Structure 1
Amino acid sequence: MSYTFASATVLLLLICDPLGNIPIFANALKNVAPERRTLVIVREVLIAFALLLGFMFVGDRFLHVMGLSGLSLQIAGAVVLFLIALRMIFPNQGGFEHTHEGEPLIVPLAIPALAGPSAMATVMLLVSQAPERRLEWIAALSVTMAVCAVVLVLAERIQRLIGNRVVLALERLMGLILVAVSVEMMIRGLKLLASEWPR
């Protein structure tokens, strides 16, 4: 499946799901002083960005060391995206409900809320399919993380402005789109596998 800068950005935004992460961040930052929350959010976004950026640079080597092909990553990524999308459409009540004492660091905000397994698999998939376009994927990731930072910093205002129900409805809509993306990835991966299968 060939991605453009725009489609890669949209895909990363759907996976990182800043709107869906609003309740997680709100819960984790309950015990953080209001004047510190913006700083904590920006710090966690930067940590997630650094981690995903690292996967962009070492992901292809990791695949080589593990003896994995880009095709296997595409099919596995499609399955993971499908499961993530189902969770967005039918949110479980478990989530990250633990209230942290003091400031959360890395877990659960940077990882896995923003830089979860599906995001890591996606950046590796982008690079494995078109390593010569790495700068384009870095730009797409940068835009994604910037949007996540803005949405999460403005989370309280967004919740007050549009309400929790609209936030939930938007998350489920994003989940539906992500289901379609994952199914398309799976179909293309299976077609490629069938074409490469020995006759």
Structure 2
Amino acid sequence: MFAAFDIQDMISAFIVLFAVIDIIGSIPIIIDLREKGREVNAVKATVYSGALMVGFFYAGHLLLSLFRVDIESFAIAGALIIFFMALEMILDVEIFKNTGPIKEATLVPLVFPLLAGAGAFTTLLSLRAEYASVNIMIALVLNMIWVYIVLKLTGKVERFLGKGGIYVIRKFFGIILLAIAVKLFTANITNLITFLQGGL
């Protein structure tokens, strides 16, 4: 297994996943969820998101094919969810209303779609075509450790920045999140259209 290990490939995979998972950019969302009284469990969020990504890495194509869903359509759906979450941050509106019995925010929206979302899933499948699995898995584990650390320190970050700082960062990362959603949407809608035209 470790015969295929390459530290340069592992670092490359780590950087790509770090940018896509973007736990730093999720800090304003996490703080906002906690202010709304929705609990965020750092251990559960880390374990669940890591497990989802590992599972999708090995069984993603099979799972989507069972439902006859292509990866482009899946990514577009994830992009739309991220788009509306960005609008919440930028416009100070509440689109995703939590009217159900579960008040905890660990699974939705933190684990999915923020951490283990369509962007992370599609990226993992793309990385699999470039690097050995062992390099990607080590990179993923290191990213999950970083996710846990950030989630545990979110309260300290909030106290350090204050209400005003959090408000500004929320707006800024709302725009970043919106840009990611648009990029994910446009990249995959182009691939989907090309695929559909090829099938005609």
> In structure 1, what is the Cα distance between the partners aligned to 2:110 and 2:137?
16
Q: Deviations over 1:2-58 (max 9, x none)?
A: x964243222116981342024346356xxxxxxx9xx5334432332233323332
1:111 equivalenced with 2:107 (yes/no): yes
From the superposition, tell whether residues 152 and 10 of structure 1 become closer, same or farther in structure 2 (CA, over 3 Å): same
1:20 equivalenced with 2:29 (yes/no): yes
Is the contact between residue 76 and residue 185 of structure 2 (CA under 8 Å) also seen in structure 1? yes
Aligned to 1:164: 163
Is the contact between residue 59 and residue 127 of structure 1 (CA under 8 Å) also seen in structure 2? no
Map 1:112-191 to 2 at 5 A: 112-117=108-113, 119-132=116-129, 133=131, 134-135=133-134, 137-139=136-138, 141-191=140-190
Percent of pairs with identical residues: 21
Equivalent AA in structure 1 for residue 128 of structure 2: P
Q: TM-score, normalised by structure 1?
A: 0.69
From the superposition, tell whether residues 6 and 91 of structure 1 become closer, same or farther in structure 2 (CA, over 3 Å): farther
| 3-state secondary structure, aligned to 1:147 | helix
Q: Deviations over 1:85-128 (max 9, x none)?
A: 22232343586889x9xxx9xx7243014211453323321233
Aligned to 1:75: 76
Q: Deviations over 1:124-181 (max 9, x none)?
A: 2123334334555545543443333223322332222110221232122122112222
Structure 1 ranges of 4+ moved more than 6 A: 94-98
Q: CA RMSD in A?
A: 3.6
> In structure 2, what is the Cα distance between the partners aligned to 1:113 and 1:192?
27
> In structure 1, what is the Cα distance between the partners aligned to 2:24 and 2:134?
20
Is the contact between residue 77 and residue 121 of structure 1 (CA under 8 Å) also seen in structure 2? yes
Which blocks of at least 5 consecutive residues in structure 2 are unaligned?
Answer: 1-11
Equivalent AA in structure 1 for residue 164 of structure 2: R
